[in-house]
A and B are shown apart, each in its own frame.
Chain A
Amino acid sequence: MTDWLGLGPDEWSAVNLSLRIAFWATLASLPFGILIALVLARGRFPGRILLDGLVHLPLIMPPVVTGYLLLLSFGAKGPAGAFFEDYLGITFSFRWTGAALACAVMGFPLMVRAIRLSLEAVDRKLEAAASTLGASRIWVFATVTLPLALPGILAGMILAFAKAMGEFGATITFVSNIPGETQTLPTAIYTFLQVPGGESAAIRLTVISIAISMAALVGSELLARRIARRREGA
């Protein structure tokens, strides 16, 4: 397996780990992303602007700052970190789970933004029609709002996934750069560039990185087209 594409074990584990981290970061943040997007799109309450700003903060703050804040709160001695360790048995510090958390936080604004836009585009009149047909608010959301917002949700997931594949600053600050545990594609490329003769490995990983990004992009485009075609009644 390690010979495939001429990858060494460290390189292979970085690819493997990056995919796993991006997958879980995207999946775990999705329910929260939809919820926050819904609150921002539909909610009318004091503090909405504050919440909006908070969600977007990782987009504009230096990633190192985000990583450091994660370390303070979700690290071994952080209050949130202690809670997750004691009650849920999840450890973040210097683990791949921590890298996934960092990636999720960094990709969250992108995900929320895409989902929010698609939720705002959903015709409320269709929801009203569904309610006259007997659907409660939750059913309306599940059978009308969510399916109609699906293209935006997919776009948000792709963006979050791509962000997770490329995340560097927050990850390395929060969970360091441990081969086999927290060394992702970008941190691995960075590491290979720091050692003499590591350039060929860095190039191989770069190519893989491009390939994965392209695949995600093309995949999402195909999906979006399929949804659009289905809606037009083919």
Chain B
Amino acid sequence: MLSVDVTRRLGDFTLEASFESAGKLTALFGASGSGKTTLVNLIAGLIRPDSGRIAVNGRTLADTDSRVLLPASKRRIGYVFQDARLFPHLTVAQNLRYGRFFAPRGERYADFDAVVDLLGIGPVLGRRPERLSGGEKQRVAIGRALLASPRLILMDEPLASLDEARKGEILPYVERLRDEAGIPIVYVSHSVAEVSRLATDVVVMREGKVAAAGPAAAILSRLDLLPADEMGEGGAVLEMRVSGHDQVFGVSRLRSAAGEIIVPRMAATLGTMIRVRLRARDVMVATEKPVGLSAQNVLAGTLAALEPVTDNMFDARIDCGGEIIVARITKLSAVRLRLEPGQGVFAVVKTVSVGPAGLAAAAS
């Protein structure tokens, strides 16, 4: 459990953030300049709060009222920086062991070989950071933070300096870390694709304040909360079970309470849970069940709300079996279809627009 309630001024900028999260991976999400990095630096102890309190699992790291201010070295918080910050004078193996040396003997839960294996960095252990690719550097940085046996890991846009291919290389490792290591992660990002794929909880930052906080699916379907430049990436995030594969046509079937959808063939075994992101701009609304349509995914539901986004755009929130699917439509469409909250509608999604939440979908 991470609990933060702090203020900090930096020049003209004021951060006033308050949230709690018990999620496995909490995304700090917002446009650049919204205070995300300031917030993680406060949690890490690299800058001090003007006032407020920060606690991890009940342990107070900073509290201006009771004059508690643990230095960064005593906080046991792993920090994966955007720019990796590996020590240039040490080898990869020495970098990895650095934090382990300072962890109290009884609390060294991270196993060297297991971490090296998890991150696939065995082949580069003898190298100097200078000789690593960008993706390798970030994996070593994650390993270094993890091997200090921290109680919380902070990741400040660890993929920001990487190209799309390298991002795709790192993301699975972050997922494994989230699912296997059992350490809560705070992940800073301004990318809806990354957050949809990774986050269990989302804290939306805007102009130094927390605009919203809650479970990932609930926050990500609220497109009005997303940064303007990322709004087109927003939409529903559904947890769906792989219910079938069609070898002939090369498609897979996914099922959840919302219904069944057909997606491009996935390399996942039957029964596994997969996160699917249905971008609002990829979803159409029909008032009658369409016929003679190439789009294969037609989900029946009720129009829960029609929210104006701009003067001439609406987000139609469609309740399909208890799960919310968002469709971005024009005012023109809304008027012509005479859409009213409460009426039965169909959400239509093209198969090719759907992929596993994250970069695969963004690239399709």
Residues of chain A whose beta carbon lies under 8 Å from any beta carbon of chain B: 125-126, 128-137, 139-140, 143-144, 147-148, 230-234
CB distance from B172 to the nearest CB of A (A): 24
Cα(A137)–Cα(B102), bound, Å: 12
Question: Do B73 and A131 touch across chains, with their CB atoms under 8 A apart?
Answer: yes
Q: Which residues of B contact A144 (CB under 8 A)?
A: 87
B199 at the interface (CB under 8 A from A): no
Chain B positions 119-160 with a Cβ under 8 Å from a chain A Cβ:
127-131, 144-145, 148
Question: Do A231 and B130 touch across chains, with their CB atoms under 8 A apart?
Answer: yes
| Given A125-B81, A125-B83, residue A130 in contact with residue B130 (CB < 8 A) | no
Q: Which residues of B contact A230 (CB under 8 A)?
A: 89, 128
Cα(A147)–Cα(B76), bound, Å: 24
CB closest residue in chain A, given B149: A134
Question: Do A233 and B127 touch across chains, with their CB atoms under 8 A apart?
Answer: yes
Question: Do A233 and B130 touch across chains, with their CB atoms under 8 A apart?
Answer: yes
B128 partner, pick from A137, A139, A232, beta carbons under 8 A: A232
CB distance from A134 to the nearest CB of B (A): 3
Question: Do B89 and A148 touch across chains, with their CB atoms under 8 A apart?
Answer: yes
B99 at the interface (CB under 8 A from A): yes
Determine the interface band of chain B, counting residues with CB < 8 A from chain A: 20 to 34
Residues of chain B whose beta carbon lies under 8 Å from any beta carbon of chain A: 44-46, 71-79, 81, 83, 85, 87-89, 98-99, 101-103, 127-131, 144-145, 148
| Given A125-B81, A148-B89, residue A131 in contact with residue B71 (CB < 8 A) | yes
Question: Do A133 and B131 touch across chains, with their CB atoms under 8 A apart?
Answer: no
| Given A232-B128, A232-B130, A233-B130, residue A132 in contact with residue B89 (CB < 8 A) | no
| Given A128-B46, A231-B128, A233-B129, residue A135 in contact with residue B102 (CB < 8 A) | yes
CB distance from B129 to the nearest CB of A (A): 7
| Given A132-B44, A132-B72, A133-B98, residue A147 in contact with residue B89 (CB < 8 A) | yes
Cα(A128)–Cα(B71), bound, Å: 11
Q: A129-B81, A135-B98 are in contact. List 12 more A-B contacts (CB 8 A).
A: A131-B71, A132-B72, A132-B73, A134-B103, A135-B73, A148-B89, A230-B128, A231-B88, A231-B89, A231-B128, A233-B129, A233-B131
Question: Do B99 and A125 touch across chains, with their CB atoms under 8 A apart?
Answer: no
Which 5 residue pairs spanning A and B have beta carbons closest together? Answer: A233-B128, A134-B102, A133-B99, A233-B131, A129-B85
A136 partner, pick from B73, B75, B148, beta carbons under 8 A: B73
Question: Do A134 and B76 touch across chains, with their CB atoms under 8 A apart?
Answer: yes
Question: Do A126 and B85 touch across chains, with their CB atoms under 8 A apart?
Answer: yes
CB closest residue in chain B, given A143: B98
Dominant SS among interface residues on chain A: helix
Q: Which residues of A contact B46 (CB under 8 A)?
A: 128, 131-132
CB distance from B87 to the nearest CB of A (A): 6
| Given A125-B81, A231-B130, residue A131 in contact with residue B72 (CB < 8 A) | yes
CB distance from B45 to the nearest CB of A (A): 8
Interface centre among B46, B76, B102 (most CB of A within 10 A): B102
Question: Do B87 and A130 touch across chains, with their CB atoms under 8 A apart?
Answer: yes
Cα(A139)–Cα(B144), bound, Å: 17
Q: Which residues of A contact B148 (CB under 8 A)?
A: 132-134
Cα(A139)–Cα(B71), bound, Å: 13
Question: Do A130 and B98 touch across chains, with their CB atoms under 8 A apart?
Answer: yes
| Given A130-B98, A133-B98, A134-B76, residue A125 in contact with residue B128 (CB < 8 A) | no
Question: Do A133 and B144 touch across chains, with their CB atoms under 8 A apart?
Answer: yes
Q: Which residues of A contact B78 (CB under 8 A)?
A: 132-133
CB distance from B234 to the nearest CB of A (A): 32
Question: Do A139 and B102 touch across chains, with their CB atoms under 8 A apart?
Answer: yes
Q: Which residues of B contact A128 (CB under 8 A)?
A: 46, 72, 85
Cα(A136)–Cα(B70), bound, Å: 11
Cα(A136)–Cα(B145), bound, Å: 16
Q: What would be 12 A-B contacts, judged by CB atoms less than 8 Å apart?
A: A129-B79, A130-B87, A131-B45, A131-B46, A132-B79, A132-B145, A133-B78, A137-B73, A144-B87, A231-B89, A231-B130, A233-B127
CB closest residue in chain B, given A232: B130
Q: Which residues of B contact A133 (CB under 8 A)?
A: 73, 78, 98-99, 102, 144-145, 148
CB distance from B95 to the nearest CB of A (A): 9
CB closest residue in chain A, given B72: A131
CB distance from B55 to the nearest CB of A (A): 18
Cα(A17)–Cα(B267), bound, Å: 78
Interface centre among B74, B76, B98 (most CB of A within 10 A): B98
Q: Which residues of A contact B88 (CB under 8 A)?
A: 126, 148, 231
CB distance from B109 to the nearest CB of A (A): 14
Cα(A180)–Cα(B112), bound, Å: 60
CB distance from B50 to the nearest CB of A (A): 20
Q: Which residues of A contact B74 (CB under 8 A)?
A: 134
Interface centre among A143, A147, A148 (most CB of B within 10 A): A143
Interface centre among A126, A129, A137 (most CB of B within 10 A): A129
Question: Do B83 and A134 touch across chains, with their CB atoms under 8 A apart?
Answer: no
B73 partner, pick from A125, A134, A147, A231, beta carbons under 8 A: A134
